[in-house]
Amino acid sequence: MNPRRKKRLLFASALIGGVAAIASLLLYALNSNLDLFYTASEIHLGKEGTGIKPEIGQRIRIGGMVVPGSVKRDPDSLKVEFQIADTGPAVTIRYDGMLPDLFREGQGIVAQGPMTEFAVIDATEVLAKHDENYMPPEVAEAMGKKHEKLTYDEPQVQGGSY
């Protein structure tokens, strides 16, 4: 093989190797920032069709309605714990920070963070709906009730009314 062909072959090999290395680093970076969306029912039962459930330690986004009576706040810090549900079992969300102004019981939210235990999410971000008719599209699709509110049994107050 003459030296000119050898140089071209070496250059082409280096170029292909460089492009492959860049593509693999790019895919790795995108994969590590990927947050899959789940509903509370899908965490317990798995995705419909595949049965895939999130693993402990996996970062996920979860959407649903805040279960009335489930919000517990720590009086000494910004820590809050609450449950969200769609049409099935509830999932516990733990969050340390300022909740959105629109956050309240019975309203739709989306939380993002790692699953630290089965059906327990340590949220790094909590997003609330922006108006009375809004529900996150993923939640609405998963629940099959595009613009309907879920109704929960209100907890009974003992000892009279307010």
- Return binding residues for heme: 130, 134
The tokens for 148 are 């309907």
* Binding-site sequence positions: 130, 134
| Short-list 44, 15, 109, 117, CA closest to 71 | 109
Question: How many Cβ atoms from other residues are within 10 Å of residue 47's Cβ?
Answer: 17
61 phi-psi bin (left φ>0, alpha ψ -120 to 50, beta other): beta
d(C-alpha 117, C-alpha 143), whole Å:
24
